[in-house]
Every structure is written in C-alpha cells, then in structure tokens.
Amino acid sequence: MSEKSEKTVTVIGCDGRHVSTDAAKALGLARTVIGAPRHLEAAPIPPGAERVELRHLDEALNTLVRSPGPAVVLASGDPGFFGIVRAVRARGIVPAVIPAVSSVALAFARLGLDWDDALVLSAHGRDPGQALAAALAHPKAAILTAPGTAATLGAALRVAGKQVYIAECLGTSQERVAAFDAAADPADPADPNILISLGEQQRNEPRWLAGHQGAPPGWALPEDAFAHRDSMITKAEVRALVLARLGPGPGRVIWDVGAGSGSVAIECARFGAHVIAIEADQAQCERIASNAATHGVRVQVKHGRAPEALADLPPADAIFAGGGDHAVLDAAIRHARPGKVAVTLAAVSRVAGTAALLTAHGYRPDGVQLHASRLSPLPNGQLRLAAENPVFVMWGHR
Ligand SMILES: C[S@@+](CC[C@H](N)C(=O)[O-])C[C@H]1O[C@@H](n2cnc3c(N)ncnc32)[C@H](O)[C@@H]1O
C-alpha cells in the first residue's frame, strides 16, 4: 500500500474479548480516543488521553480530523464491515485497522451455523423495507438492525414463516441469543442486536461466492420449465424483455398482478427479488407455489382479485401486469407506487390507453411489439420458422 496518512489513526474493533497487544500499544500512544460510551468504558485508555464520546458520526470525525496527535477510534466488531472505516477514509485518513470478530460472525457462531451462504443486510439509516425484502427472499440472512427496528422486522419475518433468532449485546454480560418471540413486548429487544432469518430451503452445497449468487445462470427460461394451463404463460422472449424492464434483484419488491403460472414472478425471485404474485384463481395459486418450489425460490402468493386484493400489500419497486384492464393497472400503480411498470398486451386497442395511463401517473411510456418466430425442425431435418403470437410489451419508468 502506498497510501499514507500524516497522522496515525488506528481503528480498533471491540467484541468483548481482551484487547490485543497491538491495540493496547495504539491506545497507549493515543492523544485522543473516540468511541461509543460502552467501548470507552471497556478499553484501557491512558489517563492523559482525551476521551470523546461518539454520539454523532460527523462531529466525531471532525474531532478526529482536528486531533493533534495519534488517535484511536473504537468501534464494534470488524470496523471494515458495515463499520466506520469507510467514513474515516472519506475524510482523507488512511487508518490502521485492528479488527475484532464481527457481530454477524458471532451471532452465527452462537447458533452453531455456517454463514458463507447468508445475506448480510443493514437496516441502518435507511428504510428497513429493503433489508426486509432481501431477507424474505433469501433462505439465510442476518440483519444489522437500527436501534428500535428489531421488533417490527422480526415480526414481519415470522409472519412470512421464517425461523428468526435475535442476538442481543453480543460479547457483553447482557448477551442473549434466543428464538425471536413475536408476542414479546416490542420494547424488549435490547440494542445493539442482530436478527438471523432462516427459511425452509437451506442449501448445503459448498460455496465459492458468499451471500447472494448474483444473476441466475440463465433466465427467460422455456415455457416447459413451468407448469402452466392452456398456454397461459408469458412466452420466453417476452419474459426476457419484461425482466429487463422490471430490474429484479435483492432488496427489491415486485408485484406480479394476475400472475398465472407465476413464470415472471419466479424468474424475478431467481434474481433475489421479494415477489408477491397476485392471482384470482385458486388452482393457479397452487401452481405458482409449486413452480416456485421447483425452482427453489420463495414467492408470496396472494389469492384474490385485483384491485381489491392489492389493498394490504406493501409498496413495490416494480410491478408487472400480464393482463387485466386499465382499472386494475391504475389501482396497482396507486397502491404500489412503483418506480417501474411493465405490461404485456395482446389487444391493439389497449395500447394507446395504457400509454395514456402511464403518462397520467408520471411515467415516460415506451413499448414495442414483439413478434418472435422460433426455429423449428421439419421432418426432413431442415429448419422452418414457427411464429408466436405478437404481443405488445409496454413499460414506464419514473
Ligand atoms: C454499524 S453496524 C457495525 C457492525 C460491526 N462493524 C461488526 O462487524 O459487528 C452496527 C450494528 O451491528 C450490530 N452489532 C454491533 N455490535 C453488536 C453486539 N455486540 N451485539 C449484537 N449486535 C451488534 C447491531 O445490529 C448494530 O446495530
């Protein structure tokens, strides 16, 4: 590393265990020590050093920049993992970092679980909905909670059928690791804490990439990858464009309104999105659930007729309407308030109205007619073109 700071700043991670020799040495030389009260209390700080309680990050960093001599910042766990190192570097300081064990590693260790397949999610300083959506869609997740958010997040995960654990005050005398009790007093979880969420489908194969695997190995899967009825399925070529326009991924909520076989919903879930498939027909709902299980993903199936069935759903980042009339699309946009909408239409007469509806809701409408002709073998071994029905794909982003 060629980077150098003029002043020595050491960021020391704390996990409740004894301070290492290197950390004790840095503390012994420090003129300023910045940290949360609990970390300042526990660290061997020389009497001459100024102690600065870390209450507001910006103020603490100002103090760090102004401090005259060697300084130490105390932080929880591994300060380079969802910690203070990024903020310190943003102030032009290249710190020495002495990490401790991350609270995430500790939480999984306390449960005796491996975690290279876990998503690690932060609900700090942002809408916790994103962390919740990612945890709902993934079989194993840890959530770094913001103070006071654990009860709501834990309850939502329990309602969705996840097994949930809470790890409070790890490495302290108040440490508690227990199954999350949704019925307990919401004020109960002690901060800081971590939620661990486990789904039914744990994968046991060895991993080479931690967390989410990124895009699936393929998409726009053939129709026969999904059980479906009477060819009521979005065709692969059309699905490819719809997926591209919806932009699924971990932490994104997507509604598939009138989901049919669930092919679009399931493909979005394969990218890691939390998908809610809304479907009026009970047999189709069962088909969606079984198709999702075949593909090893979780899709929340909402049985009911839109627009009534949409009323209690959480907002979405994107919605797909593979059928349905303008009233349904209008209601879906009003409820979901999505950034992206994609619609497929067979009827020419509905194109202008859909464009007008998207415009009225503040989207820039766009669209294309897709008319795919697939290669198909002839008895003599030659290839012919077999035409699929033309479909309009319309979309709007805002
Ligand atoms: C800003 S993150 C810092 C994570 C830290 N860098 C690490 O590796 O543990 C703060 C969050 O970590 C979790 N956390 C930190 N210390 C903890 C502890 N002792 N017990 C349980 N959770 C802890 C909590 O979710 C807390 O809200």
CA of 76 to the centre of ligand 1 (A): 6
Q: Whose CA is nearest to atom 5 of ligand 1?
A: 77
CA of 321 to the centre of ligand 1 (A): 40
Let me know: does 145 contact 195? Beta carbons within 8 Å. Answer: yes
Q: Quick count: other Cβ atoms within 10 Å of Cβ 322?
A: 24
Let me know: does 228 contact 185? Beta carbons within 8 Å. Answer: no
Confidence category of residue 5, pLDDT binned at 50, 70, 90: low
pLDDT for 355-368, tens place per residue?
Answer: 999 999 999 999 99
Establish whether residue 103 lines the binding site of ligand 1, counting it when its CB lies within 6 angstroms of any ligand atom: yes
Establish whether residue 144 lines the binding site of ligand 1, counting it when its CB lies within 6 angstroms of any ligand atom: yes
Q: What is the 3-state secondary structure (H, E, C) of 78-115?
A: CCCCCCCHHHHHHCCCCCEEECCCCHHHHHHHHCCCCC
pLDDT for 178-188, tens place per residue?
Answer: 999 877 776 67
Whole-number pLDDT of residue 230: 81
Establish whether residue 192 lines the binding site of ligand 1, counting it when its CB lies within 6 angstroms of any ligand atom: yes
CA of 13 to the centre of ligand 1 (A): 11
Q: Quick count: other Cβ atoms within 10 Å of Cβ 58?
A: 9
CA of 68 to the centre of ligand 1 (A): 29
CA angle 316, 348, 373 (to 5 degrees): 90
Write the CA distances from 121 to 104, 165, 203, 286, integer angstroms. 10, 15, 19, 31
Whole-number pLDDT of residue 32: 96
pLDDT for 39-96, tens place per residue?
Answer: 999 999 999 999 999 999 999 999 999 998 899 999 999 999 999 999 999 999 999 9
Establish whether residue 121 lines the binding site of ligand 1, counting it when its CB lies within 6 angstroms of any ligand atom: no
For residue 141, the SS3 value is strand
Give the mean pLDDT of 257-271.
97
C-alpha 208/C-alpha 110 separation (Å) is: 24
- With a pLDDT cut of 90, the percent of the chain lying above it is 90
Tell which residue, 53, 60, 126, 51, has the closest CA to residue 88.
60
| For the CA of 143, the nearest atom of ligand 1 | 25
Residue 344 is encoded by which pair of tokens?
């497929």
The mean-pLDDT minimum among 127-131, 145-149, 181-185, 349-353 falls in 181-185
Whole-number pLDDT of residue 209: 92
Q: Whose CA is nearest to atom 8 of ligand 1?
A: 102
| Letter string b/e over residues 269-280, b meaning 16 or more CB atoms within 10 A of that residue's CB | bbbbbbbbbbbb
Whole-number pLDDT of residue 165: 97
CA of 300 to the centre of ligand 1 (A): 30
Q: Which helix (H) or strand (E) holds 263?
A: helix 263-270
| For the CA of 147, the nearest atom of ligand 1 | 27
Establish whether residue 234 lines the binding site of ligand 1, counting it when its CB lies within 6 angstroms of any ligand atom: no
C-alpha 283/C-alpha 365 separation (Å) is: 34
Confidence category of residue 203, pLDDT binned at 50, 70, 90: confident
CA of 192 to the centre of ligand 1 (A): 6
Establish whether residue 167 lines the binding site of ligand 1, counting it when its CB lies within 6 angstroms of any ligand atom: yes
Q: Quick count: other Cβ atoms within 10 Å of Cβ 217?
A: 7
Residue 175 is encoded by which pair of tokens?
């440490």
Give the mean pLDDT of 160-173.
95
CA of 398 to the centre of ligand 1 (A): 35
First to last CA, the chain: 43
Give the mean pLDDT of 254-279.
97
Confidence category of residue 156, pLDDT binned at 50, 70, 90: very high
Give the mean pLDDT of 223-236.
92
Whole-number pLDDT of residue 57: 92
Q: Helix and strand tally (H, E) in the chain?
A: 12, 19
Whole-number pLDDT of residue 231: 80
Establish whether residue 157 lines the binding site of ligand 1, counting it when its CB lies within 6 angstroms of any ligand atom: no
Establish whether residue 169 lines the binding site of ligand 1, counting it when its CB lies within 6 angstroms of any ligand atom: yes
Q: Which residue has the higher pLDDT, 3 or 298?
A: 298
Q: Which helix (H) or strand (E) holds 52?
A: strand 50-53
Look over the chain and give the mean of its residue pLDDT values, rounded to a whole number: 94
Establish whether residue 195 lines the binding site of ligand 1, counting it when its CB lies within 6 angstroms of any ligand atom: no
C-alpha 322/C-alpha 280 separation (Å) is: 13
- Supply φ then ψ for residue 358, to 5 degrees: -65, -40
Give the mean pLDDT of 130-145.
96
Give the mean pLDDT of 98-117.
97
Establish whether residue 149 lines the binding site of ligand 1, counting it when its CB lies within 6 angstroms of any ligand atom: no
C-alpha 342/C-alpha 319 separation (Å) is: 6
CA angle 109, 114, 120 (to 5 degrees): 85
Whole-number pLDDT of residue 184: 75
For residue 143, the SS3 value is strand
CA of 83 to the centre of ligand 1 (A): 8
For residue 257, the SS3 value is strand
Best residue among 102, 143, 194 to mutate for probing ligand 1's pocket (most ligand atoms within 8 Å of CB) is 194
**Whether pLDDT at 263 is above 70:** yes
Cis peptide before 307 (omega within 30 of 0): yes
Give the mean pLDDT of 255-278.
97
Establish whether residue 266 lines the binding site of ligand 1, counting it when its CB lies within 6 angstroms of any ligand atom: no
Q: What is the pTM of this model?
A: 0.92
Whole-number pLDDT of residue 6: 67
Residue 184 is encoded by which pair of tokens?
């307990």
Computed from CA positions of residues 34, 40, 43, 47, in that sequence, does the dihedral angle turn out positive or negative? positive
C-alpha 355/C-alpha 393 separation (Å) is: 11
The whole-angstrom distance between residue 227's C-alpha and the CA centroid of its chain comes to 28
Confidence category of residue 324, pLDDT binned at 50, 70, 90: low
For residue 314, the SS3 value is coil
pLDDT for 61-72, tens place per residue?
Answer: 999 999 988 999
C-alpha 70/C-alpha 49 separation (Å) is: 10
Establish whether residue 219 lines the binding site of ligand 1, counting it when its CB lies within 6 angstroms of any ligand atom: no
CA of 193 to the centre of ligand 1 (A): 7
Give the mean pLDDT of 25-49.
95
Give the mean pLDDT of 377-397.
96
C-alpha 324/C-alpha 353 separation (Å) is: 13
Give the mean pLDDT of 135-153.
95
CA of 391 to the centre of ligand 1 (A): 50
Whole-number pLDDT of residue 222: 96
Establish whether residue 171 lines the binding site of ligand 1, counting it when its CB lies within 6 angstroms of any ligand atom: yes
